[in-house]
Amino acid sequence: MKDTLFKIEPFEIKEVGVVKELKRGIARIEGLPSCIYGQLIEFGDVTGRKGLVVDFNEKEVMAFILGDEKDIKLGSTVTSRNEVFSIPVGENFLGRVINAIGEPIDDRNPHIENNGFCPVFRRSPGVLDRVPISEQFHTGTKILDSVIPIGRGQRELIIGDRQTGKTTIALDAIINQKDKNVFCVYCWIGGAHSSLMKIIRALEETGALDYTVVVAASASSSAGEQYLAPYVASAVGEYFMYSGRDSFVVFDDLTKHAWIYRELSLLLERSPGREAYPGDIFYLHSQLMERAGRLNAEKGSGSMTFFPIVETLQGDITGYIQSNLVSMTDGQIYISGSLFHEGFKPAIDLGLSVSRIGSKVQSEALREVSDTLRLDYAQYKELLRLMRVKTKLSTEIAEKLRRGEALSRILGQDTHQPVSELAIIILLYAFKRKILEILSPEGLGIFCGQIMGYLEEANPQVLKNLASQKVLSVETKQELDRTFVEFFRAKKVI
């Protein structure tokens, strides 16, 4: 008897279910009585095909099919894996494109060595695990870093009509993180594959792909993968955050994510609410947004910054999903279609854009030169509106118009050309000294494009002092004034 027991090989007990119905990416399964929400399952007849439990009752289980459902047939066996959905993570994923299951989908090595696994639906950090945001997240966009400062760990919504430059602002922020020890995650949800390839090429050409993980669930991916993509991107970002580093995640875009969740909820026969969205649509995005933040020293002092993108229709920011996201983020960047068509890029509307973190994350020098910019720009826009009904100008109004026009030219910026914090301080200091409004448009363009190079050659010490101290001391201001005069004489722009 004892010999017989020793000969019995160890075995594993698994729950097995059977597929009873398939419906556009959702499988209705009979069996699996011990399943839990968010559990991973495997379809036994198809090697490697997985599913995610999203609903169940006493008799059956509903699961999202992760991947193509063509190979799954009625009567296929399903086994539970007794684990919540987790994805492999690690530094080796940088520079790679992965799908919503964590598998590489680019044309490079199909096997990526990981440093561990992270749960996709991890709970957000508690209040006691966080510290106030105190360090600025530099986007490289002049109008953002000066007027709408964003902190590391903040959630800043990018909102605007389609084809107005929302993705460009997010990509410029990724490109600007080069050599800043910030690890980026770009999440593509429900868009065209051709558009995704253009974005990947832009990241490759600028060298930004080396510190970026792309999580892609394009329109051709299954509905379940599109639903999971932002949570997978958050899990990748959390790996860096919980290891004491700074991460940055872009969700492009959550409008399509809400659409796909509405579609899946209707297929699951959940009760529709406003605009046919299910009742938990607010929770869907709020639990995602809560995962961003800055951790305390005990948790490693890491941070995760979110740039969710949401699309509007004809500039309407009062839509259901749009207003939901505005209420659950720490500010919004509103992209104006009218400004975009006027040729002002980035087309950020300062009247509707705000950062609730504010100037407390800025350096003292940047705060000093940007404190009145919003007011100056608002006055300039108001004067332009008055100009439509009034033709005669006083000297004071003409001076304000010249000053506002100079500010507009300073804040304008070309695509994928991020500007350093030092350059922003130099340009805005010159604007504050009221020496730029007397320049012609050509002269102002020469000043903005060449002053940093001239300072590096003629007076590099003032740049070193400014970079180390981040303060505009009296000596620094005097040196800058002297260098500006020398620049104007050398370039003959006045």
pLDDT digits (tens, 9 = 90+) for 210-222: 999 999 999 999 8
Mean residue pLDDT of the chain comes to: 91
Give CB contacts under 8 A, 24+ apart, made by 267-271.
267/23, 267/24, 267/25, 267/26, 268/26, 268/54, 268/55, 268/62
Q: Which domains does the chain have, with CATH numbers?
A: 13-83 (2.40.30.20), 88-362 (3.40.50.300), 367-491 (1.20.150.20)
User: What's the rounded Cα separation, in Å, for the pair 324 and 317?
Assistant: 10
User: What's the rounded Cα separation, in Å, for the pair 29 and 16?
Assistant: 10
- Tell me which range, 85-89, 213-217, 384-388, 449-453, is most confidently predicted by mean pLDDT: 213-217
Residue 95 pLDDT class (50, 70, 90 cuts):
very high
**Cβ of 283: how many Cβ atoms within 10 Å?**
10
Residue 306 pLDDT class (50, 70, 90 cuts):
very high
Question: Inter-axis angle of helices 421-432 and 474-491, to 10 degrees?
Answer: 80
* Tokens describing residue 170: 């997010």
C-alpha torsion 441→442→448→453, nearest 10: -170
pLDDT of 49: 82
Residue 14 pLDDT class (50, 70, 90 cuts):
confident
Backbone Cα Rg of the chain: 27
User: What's the rounded Cα separation, in Å, for the pair 66 and 120?
Assistant: 14
In order of 140, 204, 240, 300, the CA distances from 420 in angstroms are: 6, 20, 24, 28
pLDDT digits (tens, 9 = 90+) for 324-336: 999 999 999 999 9
pLDDT of 390: 65
pLDDT of 464: 92
Low-confidence winner among 36-45, 95-104, 166-175, 230-239 (lowest mean pLDDT)? 36-45
pTM of structure: 0.92
SS3 87: strand
- Rounded average pLDDT over 81-101: 91
Residue that the structure tokens 């009296």 belong to? 474
pLDDT digits (tens, 9 = 90+) for 16-48: 899 999 888 899 999 888 888 888 888 876 667
* Tokens describing residue 42: 């495997």
Instruction: Provide the annotated active-site residues.
Output: 356
C-alpha torsion 20→26→31→33, nearest 10: -160
User: What's the rounded Cα separation, in Å, for the pair 88 and 136?
Assistant: 30
User: What's the rounded Cα separation, in Å, for the pair 431 and 403?
Assistant: 8
Residue 301 contacts residue 246 (beta carbons within 8 Å): no
pLDDT of 80: 84
In order of 20, 21, 40, 103, 163, the CA distances from 43 in angstroms are: 13, 13, 10, 17, 40
pLDDT digits (tens, 9 = 90+) for 51-70: 899 988 888 999 998 877 77
pLDDT of 2: 55
User: What's the rounded Cα separation, in Å, for the pair 328 and 254?
Assistant: 13
H-run or E-run covering 308: strand 303-312
pLDDT of 8: 61
pLDDT over 80 at 13, yes or no: no
Q: How many residues does the chain have?
A: 494
pLDDT digits (tens, 9 = 90+) for 404-440: 999 999 999 999 999 999 999 999 999 999 888 888 8
User: What's the rounded Cα separation, in Å, for the pair 298 and 300?
Assistant: 6
pLDDT of 438: 86
